[in-house]
Chain A
Amino acid sequence: MSDAEYYDEFGFYSPMPLNRAARREPDEDFPTGPPIGTALPGIQLPNQHGAVVDVASQMGSNGAVVVFHRSAYW
């Protein structure tokens, strides 16, 4: 007996059945957003304190690192 049904095609194990949304992986050519060399689209969103942040107007002296993630809780 094995728990093989919890391993995906990449050999990744998670205790979630493979038919759950959490386990679906995109094709290799999934979208990765605007290409290198183009402008970062505008981002105006509230932060964890509820204050609206305009990323373009709060760049560092060399730039910014913008991370899109599943969830803080994942």
Chain B
Amino acid sequence: MTQLVQLQSALPTLHGAGYEVYAISNDTVERLAEFAERHSISFDLLADEDSGVIRAFGIMNTLVEPGEGKHMRWYGIPYPGTFITDANGTIVDKDFHQHHARRLSGPALAHRVLGTDPEPHRDAPMATTADAELSVAASLTDPTLRLEVISMMTVEIDIAHGRHIYAAGAPQAFTPVGLRVEGTGVRADAPIWPVPTALSMAELGMEVPVYTGKVRVSVPVTATSEIIRLGHGLDYDRAEVTITCSYQSCDEYACALPTTVQTTLCVPLETLVEPPGIQSYADRVTRERTKALHQGSSRGTHDPHD
């Protein structure tokens, strides 16, 4: 649901870049019509009711047994994922995740399709820090973080004029730049670094990978169930994401000692566009849990009426 609604938001960008958008599921035409109406979806939602196309793609979820959860149409669902093609229909990229809840946010997918560097969303929070050698500005492609929806964090490192920092692959004597992104209930994948430039070091007789000027790093981040539980609304209103940049900078004469700078990005959390019924499931789980807790404490105090 969230994914289709976010795709609708990304539609002007994708259409503007010359991409048609299609979404396929084993839903019936009637269900898709109702959903499209309710959420103002204007792109094609395709109904693969007998899962013929899903099977032809070889992505039918075989963990679901025939006849299982019939009224919810569990049998015949695909492993969720996205294909990106060129104008001739050749697949140029695809994005699948092992966990069904994980998917790129609308803006993150748009950047992936267009092959552009992720840009901060205009309503996204920003955190900055600086020392004499560089400054760091962190933001997101989305204004909020949502459960298992992958947003791209943009980290811009601006290195002081005349200085360079070392990239991965530099000789052991130099400390390469590193980024650590962490926070309670936040999962960050490996940072995506741009290609460094090669600095010729005559005295070492070698070329060393370095960054100079502005360096834009992208880090996939998402909120996890540690801070948002499906169907339970928001237990917390924001996540705190700490960004630590460790580096060593030099100019053409001398190197400074390795050091770190750190900043914290406070990101508002947002619930998913949830399927109907999930909240009543969640309420039932809470009731059962409360009941079990109550029974547990009664036993603990040896209630004479027990």
Contact = CB atoms under 8 A, between A and B. Distances in A.
B269 interface: no
A66 B283 CA distance: 35
A45 B48 contact: yes
Contacts of B17: 62
29 contacts: A1-B293, A7-B225, A12-B148, A12-B225, A15-B284, A26-B61, A31-B59, A39-B89, A40-B89, A41-B57, A43-B53, A45-B46, A46-B29, A47-B32, A47-B44, A48-B35, A48-B36, A53-B46, A60-B14, A60-B15, A62-B18, A62-B19, A63-B86, A64-B21, A67-B4, A68-B23, A70-B80, A71-B25, A71-B27
Using C-beta atoms within 8 Å of the partner chain, give the interface range for chain B.
35 or more
A56 B88 CA distance: 8
A39 to B, nearest CB: 6
Given A63-B86, A66-B85, A68-B24, A24 B64 contact: yes
Instruction: Indicate the size class of the contact surface on chain A.
Output: 35 or more
Interface in B1-24: 1, 3-4, 7, 14-15, 17-24
B226 A11 contact: yes
Interface of B: 1, 3-4, 7, 14-15, 17-27, 29, 31-33, 35-36, 41, 44-48, 53-54, 56-59, 61, 63-65, 68-69, 72-74, 77-94, 96, 98-101, 109, 113, 148, 224-226, 229-232, 275-276, 278, 281-282, 284-285, 289, 292-293, 296
Given A40-B89, A60-B19, A63-B84, A30 B98 contact: yes
Contacts of B296: 1
B91 A34 contact: yes
B1 A3 contact: no
